Amino acid sequence: MSQPDKGDAAPEDSAPEPPSPDAGGAQNEASGDPHRPPETPSPIPKPAKDEAAPDTGSPPGGENPPGGGSGETRKTVLAAGGANIAIAVTKLVAGLVAGSSAMLAEAAHSLADTLNQLFLLASLRRSERPADRRHPFGYGKERYFWSLIAAVGIFVAGGGYSIYEGVREIISPGEHGEATVAFVVLAFAFLFEGLSLARAVYQVRKEAADRSRPPLDHVRKTPDTTLKAAVLEDSAALVGLTLAAAGLTLREITGSGVWDGAASVLIGLLLVVVAVTLGRSSMDLLIGQSVDRETLRTIHREIADSPGVSSVVELLTMYLGPDELLVAAKVAFWDEISADQAEDIADEIDVRLRDRLPIIRHVFLDPTQLDPARPPGVSAHETTV
């Protein structure tokens, strides 16, 4: 993808002008004017990079192309989807044979998960399309849309049906069949779901190690909602299987179907929690979520410490996809900085930001006049996060 031009220089002006006290004045100077006095290099050396890169959605060091993490995520989704297809069928058969509402709830859970894996696979393929005229920033955010659809599917097909089936069993218990088949299916389902979760955890641990943060913290902060969905769904599946086994066991011991129905209701509530969690994460990223505070401060510091920069007036960031970040900033330069110098400094900032945080794909810098009401060196955005 071609990189965008930075808004740090205006069209040429034929009349020579002295350096303006604000960055906008630097922007209005003529480029290549023979009457302009020679420029002097900035006396400030480039700051040393003495801090570790913060948590972002991309591993430090080297270029990370858009969709670079999709290969591992696709393997995780395929593993989860393959397990869910087989498990859904066996749970359905076992639930009908045993007359267990909890098993039928688990069958609905696995069926919903299977459909969701299809949505997530579609999101991986569609989000990797290159940018075009109508979508100059690419299709990375489409992954968040399909993750939101998956969350709705979990809520309705999984949570809604499980709660309905549980309440129906509690109010009007049906006939109970042989539970042995159900227990065998639960055991095999636990094994397959465990293997699927292990694949997701492997990816989480690998990515967390690359970013030097705990795995649970990575699951919470990652902008890869497809990976987050796989982890949440597989974790909920193991908890749901445990609840189904407990409800079925208590039904066999007491002879009351209330326990079976209660387990089904709890499974439904669990799926509702998963759906709301995934839905909120997807919605935030779809709307335009910024990076965490630590990363925001690091970006602010990289810009503010650049030679010739007086202050960062405003700093905005937004995820364009799991592996893409947009950075936009209003920057005030020193009074003596000319337009050409401002352009060179902006180019250096662009290179340094991408080198420090490879997830950054687009950098827009807007030279502007410093707001006298705001303390120098403080970002308007940073003060509100």
- Low-confidence spans in the chain with pLDDT less than 50: 1-68, 376-385
In order of their start, the domains of the chain are 23-44+292-384 (3.30.70.1350), 70-287 (1.20.1510.10)
Identify the pLDDT of residue 146.
87
CA distance 264 to 165: 7
Note the pLDDT of residue 35.
39
- pLDDT at position 15 is 40
**pLDDT for res 301:** 93
Q: What is the DSSP letter of 335?
A: T
Instruction: Characterize the bridge pairing of strands 324-333 and 309-321.
Output: antiparallel
Q: pTM of whole model > 0.75? A: no
Q: Look at residue 314 and give its three-state secondary structure.
A: strand
Backbone angles phi, psi at 32, to 5 degrees: 80, 20
288 phi and psi angles, rounded to 5 deg:
135, 65
Res 270: pLDDT: 93
What was the pLDDT predicted at 288? Answer: 92
pLDDT at residue 291, rounded to an integer: 92
Q: What's residue 255's pLDDT?
A: 84
232/216 Cα distance (integer angstroms): 11
205: Cβ contacts below 8 Å, ≥ 6 apart: 215
Rg (alpha carbons) of the chain, rounded to whole number: 27
d(CA 328, CA 348): 15
Say how far apart CA 189 and CA 185 lie, in whole Å.
Answer: 6
pLDDT for residue 364: 94
Q: What sign does the CA torsion over 79, 85, 87, 88 have? A: positive
Q: What average pLDDT does the chain have?
A: 77
